[in-house]
Chain A
Amino acid sequence: MVVEGLKKYFEIRKSFLETLVSRKREFIKAVDGISFEVGKGEVLGLVGESGCGKTTTGRVILRLEEPTEGRAFFDDIDLFSLNGEELRKMRRRMQIIFQDPYASLNPRMKVGEIIAHPLKIHGLSEGREKDTVLEFLEMVGLTPAEDFYNSYPHQLSGGQRQRVAIARALVLHPEFIVADEPVSMLDVSVRATILDLMMKLKEKMGLTYLFITHDLATAKYVCNRVAVMYLGKIVEMGSIDRVFEEPLHPYTKALLSAIPIPDPTVKRERLVIGGEVPNPINPPPGCRFHPRCPFATERCKQEEPQLVEVEKGHKVACHLAA
């Protein structure tokens, strides 16, 4: 999966009166020119605060949202040029696991139908749909599968629902999965089991994940590489070990210092950043992080830093680090 210069702007709807006063159209720059790659079999974490554009990125790649600009290739197929029928065929190979398992399952379908529906749509395993569904129910740990097959979503817990959602996504044998904060709505007690399940299935089915999360601890647990997003831009990207051991961007440093360490004897420098994420309609000029950055210089206010490689596979967009 290769993404180049992806942009997604949402136009702000104005009232009739406002359109009379000014013709200027305003946009929320949710994703503002990001590029990254996810290698086959890799787990790339996309981390950042809420509103930084990470969920939008995942949705645009799957064409659940139309991109404003940029290109994305999967297996050398230009995803943004696919038309209706080609796109539907492509959906077999790319799936999504949503954040909210309470909203992502149709309340009027039984679990069995929910998982069988993708098979029916794509005409797979005709006549043996039930066997396939039962097999996947077992695979995601919903046993006895026969009981769950006839349940409705409202009869299941959040963790069980998310397992159903995972089974629905995987039943088509996709290659690429966008996991949009798959555990953030779940109880802490079941998070680890769901993550373990996703990793087990990744090995078993040879999956590639784009793992969206705001939780760095989760990212460290599952990802090979991580891309840190801030206000629609990637500020740092690299292997999970390098980024966690030696973060280069002040924003990454601040995020990392916010992770609690379960050892009171460990002393470390805390980097606390003040203020709020600025308005994505008019992002600050220069480096978008400069109003909150403790190290900001005059240059940061004027010149936007580019994402440059400082060591092999480790990129950062900061004048001070580069």
Chain B
Amino acid sequence: MEVERARVEEPPVGMVGLLLKRLRKPAYVGEYMVVAGLALLSVFLFLALFPDLVAPYDPIAIGLGPRLAPPNSQFIMGTDHLGRDVLSRVIWGARIALLVSTSAAVLSLVIGAPLGLVSGFLGGKLDRVLSLVMDSIYAFPSLVLAIAIAAVLGPGIANVAIAISVIYIPTYFRVVRGEVLVIREQLYVEAARAIGAKSPTIMRKYVLPNALPSMIVVFTLNVADAVLTEAGLSFLGLGIPPPTPDWGQDLQRGLEVVLSGSWHPIFFPGIMIVLLVLAFCLIGDGLGEVLNPRLREP
């Protein structure tokens, strides 16, 4: 019998390995987007993990300098209406923003994805009921819903994360369910049944891994959205209670003084929000292209 050899030029690697290999030498727009997004995100991660190394002052110390001092050599981004250092608050704010948005996205992933998986795979009445519930949540204006939930739960990091996660659960549910509806018709799923695999095993080992790429993309984009929602809730006073440094909260205080000519207390937190959202959007959209070659633009 003729001996067929495995192609050696392509070492056996998993999805993550393959991705890392591709990203080391970006070749098209999607890959550049991921690299740029990751670079930007790593800056924010560093700020969030080691704010005390970077921030020059205590972010909640009042009266460090004069009130509403414009940017100068001592306070690079100026001071706010209580004489606190804007730069230090902005740096410490990264921690809250990342913590709340990622934990909210993780929470909705952990709840939404399994529901979508089971619902799509098993179908039937369960699927109808779950889809109906999820669609009604989805149809509700998301920020209004988050405001309502946050208002009921009250301020606080955990509560804000829960309020945000509720509005994203339907997103995961819908995306995963849609993927599963396609995957469960695949021949390899039938092959799994033919070897005697039970439904939970098929879902875990055959369906879920194949739905993973789109879940990762949705996750990244959701974190971006959650950053905005968290800032929005804090802006409305339903988010993180003062004096914890938080971008949304600082925006709101900044709004009060911007008319009297102090632009810096609102400008710098705003820029940070934009950049962090940009980082996650770049990663999410880029990954979407990398993981799904059909989406690659010609």
Contact B195 A91 (CB under 8 A): yes
Which residue of the partner chain, among A108, A118, A156, A196, contacts B6 with CB atoms under 8 Å? A156
The stretch that binds B, out of A147-155, A226-234, A260-268, is A147-155
Q: How far is the CA of A100 from the CA of B194 in the complex (A)?
A: 15
A contact set with B: CB distance below 8 Å: 62, 64, 88-89, 91-92, 95-96, 98, 100, 103-110, 117-118, 121-122, 141-144, 147-148, 150-152, 155-157, 159-160, 163, 165, 168, 172, 193, 196-197
B4 touches A118 (CB 8 A): no
What interface size band does chain B fall in? 20 to 34
Q: Which residues of B contact A165 (CB under 8 A)?
A: 191
- 13 further A-B pairs in the complex, CB-CB below 8 A; given A106-B206, A118-B195: A91-B194, A98-B187, A98-B191, A103-B186, A103-B188, A104-B188, A105-B191, A106-B205, A106-B209, A117-B197, A141-B1, A147-B6, A156-B6
Indicate if the CB atoms of B1 and A197 lie closer than 8 Å. Answer: yes
**Secondary structure of the A contact surface, majority rule:** loop
Cα A92 to Cα B2 with chains together (Å): 30
A64 touches B194 (CB 8 A): yes
Q: Is the CB of B193 within 8 A of A155?
A: no
B196 within 8 A of A: yes
Closest chain A CB from B208 CB (angstroms):
9
**CA–CA, A91 and B198, complex, Å:** 12
**Distance of A91 Cα from B194 Cα, bound (Å):** 7
Among B8, B193, B194, find the residue whose CB has the most chain A CB atoms closer than 10 A: B194
A96 to B198, CA, bound (A): 17
Q: What does the 1/0 interface line of B1-26 toward A look like (CB < 8 Å)?
A: 11111111010100100000000000
Q: B22 CB to closest chain A CB, in angstroms?
A: 14
In contact, A64 and B12 (Cβ under 8 angstroms)? no
Known: A152-B12, A197-B1. A118 touches B196 (CB 8 A): yes
Out of B12, B15, B188, B201, which one reaches A121, CB within 8 Å? B201
- A64 touching B193 by the CB < 8 A rule? yes
Given contacts A88-B196, A141-B4, contact A110 B12 (CB under 8 A): yes
Nearest-neighbor residue (CB-CB) of A107 within chain B: B210
Judge whether B192 is part of the interface by a CB distance below 8 angstroms.
yes
Contacts of B12 in A (CB 8 A): 110, 150-152, 155
Task: Tell me which residues across on chain B come within 8 A of A105, comparing CB atoms.
Answer: 188, 191
- Alpha-carbon distance A193/B3, docked complex (angstroms): 11
Contacts of A160 in B (CB 8 A): 4, 6
